[in-house]
Amino acid sequence: MSESRDLAAVVMAGGLGTRMRSSLAKHLHPLLGRRVVDWVLDAARGAGADPVVVVASPDTADRYEGMTVAVQNEPLGTGDAVASARLALQGFEGDVLVLDAAAPLLAAHYLDRLVGEHRGLGAAVTILSFESTRPLPYGRVVRGADGDVQSIVEEKDATAEQRAIRELNSSIYVFRPEALWDALGKLDARNAQGELYLTDTIEHIVAAGGRAGAWLCPDEEATLGINTRAELAIAAAVLRDRINEAHMLAGVTIVDPATTWIEPDVEIEADATIQPFSVIRGPSRIEAGAEIGPFAYIRPGTTVGSSAKVGTFVEVKASTIGARSKVPHSSYIGDAEIGEDTNIAAGNITANFKHAGGPKARTRIGNNVRTGVDNVFNAPVEVGDDAWIAPGTVITDDVPEGSLAGFPPRQVTKEGWVYEKRGRRDDDN
């Protein structure tokens, strides 16, 4: 390992999460554009952890492409899960963060503060703890008279007096590696669950003369672990609010944040406006002055240009909407390029499909184009600048610039009609 590395992370992702009532492990469930575990991995990286080791079950070990993975062959408990990462961290001498893969709300700045407290105390282990007025089934943090942590007692093993303790264990820790590996070797399964508890390492470390501390996180919400679909929905709402607030503080108008869902990879420039009931998925880009209408669905790969508009009941996918162009009503724009100053009328569809297994064909609509109501563009097709499309038309052939096309049931194109009737624009001279 590089001598410059002073923090590693072990992310416990071996559990199934039976309370989710799902065939999919809880930490692999989608959560606002990512998997639950991906939020945890991002927090670990954001705190400067390198390497980051994911402890996975044999069935999910292939779900972490590009990551260092340690396999927990049998579900013998959290202590066994962390022990599975020892080989991957062989020779590493810095501190080791241990994270729960199902705790997606814990931001990197809280991990920074945990590590800072740990190093300030000179502790062998420091726990991220929190207080709650709710009756949560979390382990209790037991402190001695000097304020140092003596042990963590799981609720199922706790006495009535210990259950009254309000300081709870978040299952987030930072260890000195020598203390961690030594304590893991002393674990046994004599407890209510018959498992190797990582929490028992605290008592072993203290017994060996090591100092155990706890940093009390001021934000109970940030420590939420996901065990049920109800908690998954709570976490999604928290992340939605964080993302929306960041955009609003950066100059974006979000008319109703409670009904606006923006994924973390979306880029939005200042002075853009997002109307209620909009979903914007990343990677997408909304430029300055653009407006996203109510009930709009912006899918990955989309760029909405400066002062452009995506209106009500419009879906846009893998497309570019040029500056000042408008798609105001009830349309689907997919795999398309729309130029500047173009107006797409209500009920337009770009009908794109794969040919012989290749990439989807694309629709290209130029600058200053005016389409009609209920147009379908059967890709691959290109509409030139300044063209007009008559209502109810299926466009199957390219339309030259300045032409009028349409007249169902078959496309008829009158080349140069727009220029003849209206004259060329001044900027074309």
Cα–Cα distance, 248 to 178 (Å, whole number):
46
- Looking at residue 155, its pLDDT comes to 86
- Looking at residue 137, its pLDDT comes to 84
DSSP assignment of 356-413 equals TTSPBP-EEE-TT-BPPTT-EEESSEEE-TT-EE-TT-EE-S-B-TT-EEE-TTS-EE
Its pTM stands at: 0.88
Q: Catalytic pick from 109, 204, 247, 329?
A: 329
Task: Mark 183-215 as b/e (b = at least 16 C-beta within 10 Å).
Answer: bbeebeeebeeebbbbbbbbbbbbeeebbbbbb
Sites in the chain below the pLDDT cut of 50:
1-4, 426-429
Cα–Cα distance, 165 to 136 (Å, whole number):
11
Cis peptide before 30 (omega within 30 of 0): no
Determine whether 204 is an active site residue.
no
- Structural domains of the chain ordered from first start: 7-223 (3.90.550.10), 229-428 (2.160.10.10)
- Whether the CB-CB separation of 416 and 403 falls below 8 Å is answered with yes
Identify any residues that bridge with 128 across adjacent strands, giving them in sequence order. Answer: 172, 215
Token digits of residue 300 = 């990955």
CA atoms within a 13 Å half-sphere pointing along the CA-CB vector of 365: 35
- Looking at residue 357, its pLDDT comes to 65
- Looking at residue 4, its pLDDT comes to 40
Cα–Cα distance, 382 to 398 (Å, whole number):
5
Q: Which residues neighbour 136 within 8 Å (Cβ) at sequence distance 6 or greater?
A: 168
